[in-house]
Amino acid sequence: MAQSSPGDPIPDGTSAHERPGVYSTPGAGFERDTRYLTTRITADGRDGWPVEPGRYRLVVSRACPWASRAIVVRRLLGLEDALSMGVCGPTHDERSWTFDLDPGAVDPVLGIERLRDAYLRRDPQYARGITVPAIVDVASGAVVTNDFAQMTLDLSTQWTAYHRPGAPDLYPDALRDEIDEVADEIYRDVNNGVYRCGFAGSQESYDRAFTRLFTALDRLEERLTSRRYLVGDTITEADVRLFTTLVRFDVVYHGHFKCNRDRLTDLPALWAYARDLFQTPGFGDTVDFVDIKRHYYEVHRDINPSGIVPRGPRVGAWLTPHGRQALGGRPFGDGTPPGPVRADERVPQGHGAE
C-alpha cells in the first residue's frame, strides 16, 4: 500500500473499494477517503439527473460490501427492469475493476472493459478511486454517482414510481432518525471497523480498532437478543448495511483482517440474525462467497503476499434454522418478498450456500 498522509491527493490507479482513501502509515490508524461523486439521481432531477427507467446502469462487484448494499436494495425494491446491473469480476489490476465475467470481457450495455473508462468520461482528469457501486448514464457512458451511502437511500425514496408492487419501505419516514443513528454507528464502528483492523499501520492502532469493533458488535448482540430487526419490526436500510459486513465476517474478516476475538458463529444473536436475513429473499440469493474470498485474498497482496485463497470455512450453516420468528416482526411489513432471481443475475452455482 502506498504511504500517504490523510490530506494527500489520492494517487491515480487506486482501484479497489478499500483502496481509495485508505491510508495506513506507521503509527497511524485507518482513514477512508469520502470524496465521492455526490451527484444525485432524483425524481425531480434537481442535480440534472432525473430518475428515468432504462437510462442508467448500476455497476457492482459481488465481492464488495459497499456494492452489495445496492444489489440487495435494488432486488428488494424490484428495480431490475428500471435500473440494469453490470457485474465486475472479483479481482482487478492497478487501474480498475474490469468486466471479465462478461463475454469478451466487455460490459454488454456500456461497451467498456474497465469501469475506469466511465469515470474518465465524467472527468478526464479523474484521479480518485475507481469504486463500486457506481451508477453510469448509459447514453454518455459517464459515471453519475459513486456515493454508495446516499445511493441506496435514493433507490428507496426517489425511485418509488418504479418499485415493484409490494416493495418494502426500507426507509420509513417515522423511523428515519433512528435508522440514521444506528446506520451511522454501524458504518463507523463495524463496516469501517473491520478495515481499521485489517489495514492498521501499527500494533497500537490495531489494538484500538480491535477493541472498538468488538465493543460495537457486543452492543449489537445485546440489541438483537430481544428484537428481530435493528429498527422497528421490519427490515430497513440499517439491516442491509449490517448484513453485508456480517456475511463476510467469518469467510474473510476473522482471519484476513485479524478480527479474531470471536467468529460470527460465536455470537448467538448476531449469528441467528444474520442467518435470518440470509434466508430472506433478496439477501442470501445475492451473496457470492467465492468472489468475496477471491477478492480479498488475491487483491490484498500487502496482507496476503502469496495470494492463496483459503478453502474454508463451510458456508452451508447459513441455511440452518435460526429461530428468529419467535421474536415477532414482519420482514416486509405490509409488502411481499421479491420473486425469484432473474436468470441472468443468479449467483453462479457453487458460489452460494447450497
Grid cell locating 337: 418478498
Grid cell locating 344: 441472468
Grid cell locating 99: 468486466
- Pure H helices in 123-202: 148-157, 176-185, 193-198
> 137-140 long-range contacts, Cβ below 8 Å, gap at least 24?
137/49, 137/55, 137/56, 138/54, 138/55, 138/56, 138/57, 138/84, 138/109, 138/110, 139/55
3-state secondary structure string, 21-37? CCECCCCCCCECCCCCC
DSSP letter (8 states) at residue 58: E
**β strands within 89-244, DSSP E:** 134-137, 142-145
3-state DSSP call for residue 241? helix
- Residues catalogued as catalytic: 64, 195
